Amino acid sequence: MKLIIAYIRPEYLTPIKQALYAKGIYTMSVTNILGSGRQAGFTETYRGVIMEVNLLKKVRIELGLAAEKVEDAINAIKTAAQTGKEGDGVIFVQDLPRTIRIRTGEETL
């Protein structure tokens, strides 16, 4: 099994979910986060005060998948979220050496 972690722009969550559902991938966890990558933030004026915003709103998606579905998931996320501009996000893929289903006690090694 593999763990896919994707950091994306919040406005692309719905298109990504639809793309994953179209590939038959329904299991995911979604978390709202703040962070910065290469975007590094921006400055804005709020009530006459210049503020530096360097932690931007992002969404973290986690998918625990069988190895044969990993490429489908990566392609679905890339296709739905790619604008070609900085800040599109990043995808990490990690091995899951052991998973246990709590309800049944079923294990995969």
Highest mean pLDDT among 24-28, 43-47, 105-109: 24-28
What are the pLDDT digits (tens) for 86-102? 888 999 999 999 999 99
Name the burial class of residue 50, with classes exposed (0-12), middle (13-18) and buried (19+) by CB atoms within 10 angstroms of its CB. exposed
What are the pLDDT digits (tens) for 58-88? 999 999 999 999 999 999 999 999 988 888 8
2-108: CATH topology: Alpha-Beta Plaits (3.30.70)
- Assess whether pLDDT exceeds 80 at residue 37: no
Residue 6 tokens read as: 């994707």
Q: What is the domain partition of the chain in residue ranges?
A: 2-108
pLDDT for 40 equals: 67
Distance CA 12, CA 71 (A): 19
